[in-house]
């Protein structure tokens, strides 16, 4: 069956998600915290270091605000679906352990000819106060589901500044990075099963897009916000090429006041996250 366009704009039922200190520690390790030097990111990788209270990497907000929709988008081969874009706004720092209530809705089903881009927005609130904590938005591209004559969607006006980056940060990933990251909840076999990866056109499993996103978020946090999650306000970007576990990632950052543009690339220069934007707060 074709994609179910009747789902457009329909809000999901509320979903409550909780997490523990262990979850946020595991997430930090999953996106490479402490890989280069185990002592440099102890606030995110330990809960009992002397004089170092545990804190949470801001990109964990994307996982904290995820919720099952309980609705079937359509009948298609899941190997044809890839994560295309991701963004979030964080209205307050997340605690090491906590809970959010999330609702989501599909905001667009766009015809890209070779496939369909399905856009979703989620809003996660504090269950006790009802105050907004995270607004998250994402897009998935489903190959072969385009050509239905729908709206192609708007174009982004992002452009690379006409100057060298103000900062470049390179982080390694582990050969087993995807196996570690999947323990935070994304068990998509594209990132672990060679046979499934082959169906999607890859010679071996690829790294989760949100793992690459988390590695990039660490670079932005340490470079733009002095490693203070309370100062990290928002981040967005588009996934443009796959990453294989074990590849290095270089984040190029152009800073303009409390806003920055960024790109993430592999060793060979291939851009893997493009059209990146981030904002951060004053001290």
CA–CA separation, 131 vs 268, rounded Å? 44
Tokens of 252: 């190029």
Beta-bridge mates of residue 103: 123
If one counts every other C-beta atom within 10 angstroms of the C-beta of residue 27, the result is 26
Instruction: Given the residues 23, 83, 186, 208, select the one marked as catalytic.
Output: 186
Length of the chain: 283
Q: Residues 23, 83, 191, 274: which is the catalytic one?
A: 191
CA 81 to centroid of chain Cα atoms: 16
Q: Token pair of 225, please?
A: 């916000």
For 67, 124, 162, the CA distances from 17, given in Å and listed in that order, are: 8, 10, 43
Catalytic (active site) residue 191: yes
Residue 126 tokens, joined: 């504090």
* Angstrom distance (rounded) from CA 273 to CA 11: 29
Distance CA 99, CA 262 (A): 30
Q: How far is CA 181 from CA 32, 127, 198, 277, in A?
A: 9, 27, 20, 24
Q: Which of 178, 99, 87 is nearest to 136 (CA)?
A: 87
Q: Which residue has the tokens 């004559």?
A: 149
- In the residue annotation, 193 being an active-site residue is answered as no
Give the residue carrying structure tokens 């793992």. 211
Give the pair of three-digit tokens for residue 103.
């609702």
Q: Which residues contact 224 (CB under 8 A, 6 or more apart)?
A: 231, 232, 253, 255, 260, 278, 280
| Catalytic residue annotation | 186, 191
């Amino acid at each position: 069956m074709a994609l179910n366009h009747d789902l457009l704009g329909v809000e999901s039922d509320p979903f409550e998600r909780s997490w523990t200190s262990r979850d946020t520690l595991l997430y930090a390790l999953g996106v490479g915290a402490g890989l280069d030097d185990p002592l440099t990111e102890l606030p995110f990788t330990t809960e009992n270091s002397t004089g170092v209270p545990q804190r949470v990497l801001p990109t964990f907000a994307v996982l904290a605000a995820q919720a099952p929709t309980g609705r079937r988008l359509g009948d298609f081969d899941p190997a044809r679906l890839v994560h295309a874009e991701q963004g979030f706004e964080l209205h307050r720092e997340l605690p090491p352990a906590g809970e959010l209530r999330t609702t989501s809705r599909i905001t667009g089903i766009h015809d890209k000819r070779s496939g369909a881009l399905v856009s979703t927005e989620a809003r996660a609130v504090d269950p006790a106060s009802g105050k907004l904590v995270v607004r998250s938005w994402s897009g998935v591209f489903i190959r072969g589901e385009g050509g239905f004559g729908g709206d192609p969607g708007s174009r982004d006006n992002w452009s690379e500044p006409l100057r060298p980056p103000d900062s470049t940060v390179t982080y390694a990933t582990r050969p087993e990075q995807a196996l570690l990251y999947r323990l935070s909840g994304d068990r998509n076999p594209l990132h672990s099963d060679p046979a499934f990866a082959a169906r999607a056109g890859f010679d071996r499993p690829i790294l989760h897009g949100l793992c690459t996103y988390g590695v990039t978020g660490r670079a932005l946090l340490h470079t733009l916000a002095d490693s203070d999650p309370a100062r990290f306000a928002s981040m967005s970007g588009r996934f443009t090429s796959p990453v294989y576990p074990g590849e290095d990632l270089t984040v190029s950052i152009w800073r303009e006041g409390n806003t920055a543009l960024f790109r993430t690339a592999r060793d060979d220069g291939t851009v893997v996250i493009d059209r990146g934007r981030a904002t951060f707060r004053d001290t």
